[in-house]
Amino acid sequence: MSGNRSPPHWPEHPSRRVPGPPHGYAHAQPPLEDPDLEPRLPRLQRPFGGISERVPGRDDIIKGTDDDAIVSKLSAVDLGYLDDPFVKYFVKRSSRRPPLINRGSYLRTASLDALTEHFIRSTTEESSTPEDSSTSSASSTATSTTTVAQPLAAAMAGQVVKKQIVSLGCGSDTRYFKFKSKGLSVAKYFEIDFQESTGKKAAVVKKNKLFTDVIGDPDLKLGRGGTELYSKDYCLLSGDLREFTSSIVPRLKAQGFDTSLPTLFLSECVLIYIQPDDSDAIVDWVGKNMDASLFVVYEQINPTDAFGAMMLRNLKARQIELPGIHEYPSLKSQEERFLSRGWLAARAVSMNTLLDTLQADEMKRISSLEIFDELEEWHLLAEHYCVAWAYNARAQSAGQDADDRRAQHISLLFNTVRFTDRHQ
């Protein structure tokens, strides 16, 4: 987790075999005949980027939610929930948020930071098998990858490999700078958002030495009228996620995006703002074109219970709509979003579940930061937000080397998410 916590705990790997999905995971299987459609909810502010329909003014409303979210994040930083020296540069006027919002900003950020950090740190070292992990399904697609016992796999076991991260609808997100300043980096970190949003971000980054020192590239360049940034390991691109396959993918590739590298795709309250057909197209493309990918989604769930309906009404009053919320309203449907498209494994948990993973000393620390007497409201709100993640790996060619490479990728992706198992 981020903030003042030490790096995440790394479990030992007792086995030399490629794992299937961890205990509690959903596994690739035929679509459910009667999918669970439990409700799901909206969020008080949209944290970074995203889009709904091409209606004049609506995109501007969605862009504006990033301003609300970054002010909330700065409030959490100022009070000691989070450690992030970069956030303040994106806020013109700070405002202390209520404790409920501060805790929400903390938990969302800390949870996604933990998954991101594990991805950056993960290696090809083999992990426990499906049997060792008490996997609930013996028929998982991932188990069919058998054993990493071949010479190539054994030689590469434990090696750190080159990776990429793609932040969809990045807005004012600071993860690249936060992690790299702590010595945690990937081969290339891509960020994508509306041109207006990237223009503001590019201006902040280019004029502040704190940011340019972290990038550390004397050849850092502005592009597209000052709305994009290009460096050796960081690329800020302007674009519309509704045109991901036709427009954004070619421009990613032009900036060195490599489909053969294990890649983390981050969507922090973003896909829910675009039409399901458009968000599904992104998931489809990633699953079919990347050799190894981990997709992490933070979104609202449960829109049809009393609390969820109230939140939707509140957002609608602000002219904010969530086109994806009724398509993926539950934890089960969040998992099916990936499994129905052939991904190896998927899992979705509510923020309440993630709250339970906090260590006692960390819970004590955040409880001491300010008076908090809204526990019932907090748990209700947390039940209407989730983090879902899925991983996939494919072999681009036939042969033993391709099989070994795929097995290593599965092991790396599994190592990224398996730290959550001990809490289940």
* CATH number of the CATH domain containing 54: 3.40.50.150
**Among 19-23, 58-62, 218-222, 249-253, which stretch is predicted with the lowest mean pLDDT?**
19-23
Average pLDDT, integer, range 365-390: 95
Q: Tell me if 12 is assigned to some domain.
A: no
Res 149: pLDDT: 26
Q: Tell me if 3 is assigned to some domain.
A: no
Q: Model confidence at 127, in pLDDT bands (50, 70, 90)?
A: very low
Supply the DSSP string of 63-78, one letter for each residue: HHHHHHHHHHHHHHHH
Rounded Cα distance, 135 and 139, in Å: 10
Res 62: pLDDT: 73
Res 27: pLDDT: 53
Higher-confidence residue of 252 and 41: namely 252
In the chain, the number of structural domains is 1
Average pLDDT, integer, range 244-270: 97
Q: Model confidence at 124, in pLDDT bands (50, 70, 90)?
A: low
Q: Tell me if 8 is assigned to some domain.
A: no
Cross-strand partners of 388: 297, 348
Rounded Cα distance, 67 and 61, in Å: 10
Average pLDDT, integer, range 289-311: 96
Q: Tell me if 2 is assigned to some domain.
A: no
Domain containing residue 183: 26-423
Q: Tell me if 173 is assigned to some domain.
A: yes
Q: Tell me if 14 is assigned to some domain.
A: no
Taking only the tens place, the pLDDT of each residue in 197-211 is 999 999 999 999 999
Q: Tell me if 7 is assigned to some domain.
A: no
Query: Does the structure show a pLDDT above 70 at 418?
Result: no
Res 25: pLDDT: 55
Query: Does the structure show a pLDDT above 90 at 274?
Result: yes
In terms of Cα–Cα distance, which of 27, 18, 71, 22 is closest to 46? 71
Query: Does the structure show a pLDDT above 80 at 47?
Result: no
Query: With contact defined as beta carbons under 8 Å apart, do 389 and 296 qualify?
Result: yes
Q: Tell me if 139 is assigned to some domain.
A: yes
Mean pLDDT over the full length of the chain: 80
Higher-confidence residue of 202 and 151: namely 202
Higher-confidence residue of 403 and 28: namely 403
